[in-house]
Amino acid sequence: MTSQPTRVRSRTGGTAAGGGDGTTPRLRRGWPAAAVLVALAAVPVLPLHLPVVFTGPLDSPGVLHLLSLMCVMAAVAVTYDLLFGFTGLLSFGHGLYVALGMYTTAVVLNATDLGLVAALGAVVLVGLVVPLVLGAVCLRVSGIAFAMVTLAFAQAGAIFVIRDPFDLTGGELGLVLDYRKLPVWLVGVFNAEYRYWLALALLVVVVAAVRWALASRPGRVWLAIRDNEQRVAVLGLRPYTFKLLAFVLSSVLASLAGAVYALVVGGAHAEVIQPTFTLGLLVMVVLGGSGRAYGALVGGLVYTYLEHRLGDLSGSVQELPAVLRAPLMEPLLLLGVLFVLLVLFLPGGLVSVAGRGQPDPAGRIRAALRRWRAR
Amino acid sequence: MSTFVLMTVTGLGLAALYFLVASGLSLVFGLMHVLNFAHGAFLTLGGYTAWLVTDASGSFPLGVVAGMAVAAGLGALTETGLLRRMHGDHVPQVLLTVGLLLAFTALVRAAFGSDLRPLAVPDWLVRVTHLAGAPVPNSRFLLIGVAVAVYLAMAAFLSRTRYGLIVRAGVENRAMVTALGIDVRRAFTLVFAIGAALAALAGALVAAVNGAVSPEQGLTLLIFAFIVVIIGGLGSFHGSALAAVLVGLLQQYANFYAAVGSGDLIVVLLLAGVLLTRPQGLLGRSLA
C-alpha cells in the first residue's frame, strides 16, 4: 500500500525475474531462491521429523497434504496481491475465480472422457472469458464500490453453486473427482508426494508469471495506477484497460490454482466461493505484506499453516483451562485479532520486519506504539 | 391473489431488514468513506444479546433494546478507539473492520458454538393475521412497522436536528464543514453508534423471524445490504430506502414465481444494470 515502486523493482531477484537492473549479476541473486526451491522439492524424500511443527515425519502423507494446501493457498494469495497490493484494486470476489477453476476441473473430468489435460484447457478458457466479462462490468466503478460489486458477483456465484439449478455443481455437498478418470499418479493416499510436487510447481509458475508481468511494461502502469490513477490518465493512458488486464491475469492464475486445489483435495466444494474465503486471502496478503515481493507468498504459507495447526497445537498443551482453549480452537479468532493488530501497528506485514533496511523489528514496534499514543 | 398479497408483505418484510442494515452502512460510508464490514458483527451482536437477555428476563422487547444499547456502545468505542486512529486511510480502515468481523464471528462461535440457538419469541409474533385472504405471519408486520418508524425517525433526525444538519453537510462536503469550525468527529461517532444500533435491531429481528440465532447470520444479510447501498447510491439515506423496497420485492417475487434462488441472481443482475447505466446509484451523487 505504501511501498514505492522502486522498492519492488529492486527486490525482483530470484530465478524468474524478468529484467535485472544490472548492478548485481543475475545468476548470483538467483542462488538463494534456487537453493530453497531444491530443498522444498526434496521434502517428500526426507524422513525428517519436526516434533511440534508437524504431526509426523516430513514424508508422511498427512504432512505432505498440509504442505500442498499451503502451496496452493500461497499461490492464490500471490494472484490476489497482484490485484490488491500492486494494482490497488480491492476485490472481495477473488474466491469466485478459484471456484471457477475447481468446478470446471471437476465437471469436465467427471462428465466427459476427455481427461485431465482437456480439463485444464477448459479451466484456462473459462478462466479467461468469465473475468473478462465480469471485470468489464465491475471496473466501471472504482474504489470501495468496486469492492462491493465484486462481492456481489461472487455472492451470485455462490448462490448458483449452492442452489445448483442445472444439476452441475452438486450443491452444498460439492463434487468428488472420479478417480478412474485421473492419471494413476494423482490417486491415493500414498501418491501424496506427486500432489505436493504439483502444488509446488503451481506456486513456482504463479510467482514467476506474476513477477514477469510486474516487470513488464503493463506492470509499471499497474504500479502507477496504484500510486496515482489520475496521473496515469493525464499521461494519456487508459487506466481501465490496464486494470482489466491485471484483473484477467490475476483471475486466470487463480482459476489455475483452483484446478490444482481440486486435484489436491480430490474434488470441488462450495467453501471457496463463500465471502469468508476471499476475506481470508486479504488477511494472508496483509499478514505477509501487501505490494511487497514475497509478502503474499509468506502470508499465504503462514496463514494456511496456522489455520490448520492452531487447533492441534492448542490441544497439545494439556494444562490449558477451558476458557483459553475454546477460543484457541477457533483459528480465525486469533488470525482476526492478529490481522487487526497488524493493520494498526505493522502495515508492512511480516516481510517488512525481516526485510533489509529495517534491522530492528522491536524498535519498529516501539516506534509504532509511540505514534499510536501521540494520536 | 392471496399468494400475491403474501409475497408482497413478505417482500416488504425483507426490504425492511435490508433497509435497517443498509441505512446505517450508507450513512457511515457517506460521512466517513468507510465500508464497514464490522456492521455484520453488530448485527450478530444484536441477535445474540437479544437471545441472552430474552432468555434471562423472559422479555423479548427488553432483549432487543439491550442488543441495540450494547451495539451502540461498542460501535462508539470502535469508532473512537480504532477507526479514528487511522483517520483518512480508507483501505486500512476497511481492513480493520474486516478483521473485526472475522474475529467477532469466530469469538461468537467459540463461545456459543456454530449451531442455531433457538430464541423464545412472544406468542403473538408467531401467529398469523389474515390480510385480503392471505395468512401473513405477524413478524412481517413487525419488521415493516419498525422499518417505517426508523425511516421516519431518521428522516426527522437528519432534516430537523442540528446534528442531522451536520451529518448531511458532512456527507456533502466534509472539508468545508470542518473548515467552518464544526467538530465533525463527534458526528462520526454518533452516526457510527446509530448505524451499529440499527444493525443490532435488524439482527434481533432476524433472530425473531427465524426463531434462532447463528454466528453467520450477519454476513449473509450484510452482502445484500451492500447491494442495496450501491443500487440506492452510496451515502444516500432515501436511496437506501428506495433500493431496499425494490430489491426486497424483486427478490421475493422472483424466488416464488420463477425458480428458488433466481431472485438472488436477478438482484445481482439489477446491480450490474444499475452500474452500467447509472454508476452513482439511483439517488446518489457521485462515487468515491
DSSP labels for B246-287?
Answer: HHHHHHHHHHHHS-TTHHHHHHHHHHHHHHHH-TT-SS----
Mean pLDDT calculated for residue range B260-287: 78
Contacts of A1 in chain B (CB under 8 A): 91-92
pLDDT at A14: 38
Task: Examine the predicted complex and report whether its ipTM is higher than 0.85.
Answer: no
Q: Do B109 and A330 touch (CB under 8 A)?
A: yes
Q: Is the pLDDT of residue B199 over 90?
A: yes
Helix and strand numbers (H, E) in chain B are 12, 4
Contacts of B230 in chain A (CB under 8 A): 145, 148-149, 152
Mean pLDDT calculated for residue range A105-116: 87
Of all residues in chain B, the one with the smallest CA distance to A286 is: B95
What's the gap in Å between the CA of B159 and the closest CA on chain A? Answer: 27
What's the gap in Å between the CA of B224 and the closest CA on chain A? Answer: 8
Contacts of A283 in chain B (CB under 8 A): 98-99, 102
Q: Do A332 and B95 touch (CB under 8 A)?
A: no
Residues in chain B: 288
B71 contacts B10 by C-beta, under 8 angstroms: no
Give, in order, the Cα–Cα distances in Å from A251 to each of A133, A295, B223: 12, 19, 22
Q: Which of B109, B265, B275 sits opposite A159 (nearest CB)?
A: B265
Contacts of B91 in chain A (CB under 8 A): 1, 90
Tell how far CA A137 is from the center of its chain.
24
Q: Which of B35, B264, B288 sits opposite A159 (nearest CB)?
A: B264
Contacts of B21 in chain A (CB under 8 A): none
A257 contacts A246 by C-beta, under 8 angstroms: no
Q: Is the pLDDT of residue A217 over 70?
A: yes
Q: Do A339 and B276 touch (CB under 8 A)?
A: no
Q: Do B110 and A327 touch (CB under 8 A)?
A: yes
Closest CA to A149 of A85, A92, A99: A92
Give, in order, the Cα–Cα distances in Å from B149 to each of B15, B95, B186, B195, B225: 14, 33, 25, 15, 19
pLDDT at A344: 83
Judged by a CB distance cut-off of 8 A, whether residue A145 touches chain B is yes
Q: Which residue has the higher pLDDT, A268 or A180?
A: A268
Give me the residue label for grid cell 468513506.
B33
Name the band, by pLDDT with cuts 50, 70 and 90, for residue A274.
Answer: confident
Residues in chain A: 375
Interface of B with A in 93-112 (CB under 8 A): 94-96, 98-107, 109-111
Judged by a CB distance cut-off of 8 A, whether residue B51 touches chain A is no
In this structure, of A141-150, B54-63, B158-167, B191-200, the range with the lowest mean pLDDT score is: A141-150
Report pTM. 0.82
Q: Do B100 and A336 touch (CB under 8 A)?
A: yes
Contacts of B262 in chain A (CB under 8 A): 165
Q: What confidence tens digit (pLDDT) does each residue in B101-147 have?
A: 988 988 888 888 878 888 877 777 778 888 777 788 888 889 999 99
pLDDT at A1: 40
Q: Is the pLDDT of residue A325 over 70?
A: no
Half-sphere exposure of A342 (CA within 13 A, CB side): 25
Contacts of B99 in chain A (CB under 8 A): 283, 336-337, 339-340, 343
The cell numbers describing A110, all together, are 467427471
Give, in order, the Cα–Cα distances in Å from B31 to each of A322, B34, B91, B177, B192: 43, 8, 15, 11, 10
